[in-house]
Amino acid sequence: KIRHLESHGFINRDENSKVQRTNKVISTTHEVSSSLIKTLHQQMLKIASEEIYQQDVKDRYFSSMFLTASPKKIDRAKQLLNDFRSEFDKMMTEEDADEPTEVYQLGLQFFKMTQLIPKDL
């Protein structure tokens, strides 16, 4: 996992072998249906499902919720999630923050759980 990020130039190691982020940002685009992006998301979900059992709960955060919502609010919900990602990235990469020693992955999924029912039934 780490070697893959290193080989693609997203992270590197300093002279003390500490992992550090390069200037490359790993972020998927919005509203683009690419098979490569779908594969990346699928791989990250697979890794996440494995890490539930591998990582101690103090070193990870998993949470989910089910809610009802109007489809009219979906665009606003996506905007809020994008804003959160930006703020989260700023907070984690602040200049005055402790020197990073680990690589983390943040995944957000928001999708419809119900099946669309034809209105004429």
pLDDT band at 25 (very low <50, low <70, confident <90, very high): low
Burial 1-36 (b: 16+ CB within 10 A, else e): eeeebeeeebbeeeeeeeeeeeeeeeeeeeeeeeee
Higher pLDDT, 106 or 95: 106
The pair of structure tokens assigned to 2 is 């780490």
**Distance separating alpha carbons of residues 69 and 60, to the nearest angstrom:** 28
Inside any domain, residue 29: yes
Instruction: State pTM to two decimals.
Output: 0.67
Domain range enclosing 59: 2-92
Domain assignment present for residue 45? The answer is yes
The answer to whether position 119 is within a domain reads no
In a domain? residue 43: yes
Neighbours of 51 (CB within 10 A): 14
Over the stretch 58-76, which tens digit does the pLDDT of each residue have?
999 999 998 999 999 999 9
Can you tell me the distance from the alpha carbon of 86 to that of 64, in angstroms, rounded to the nearest whole number?
Answer: 20
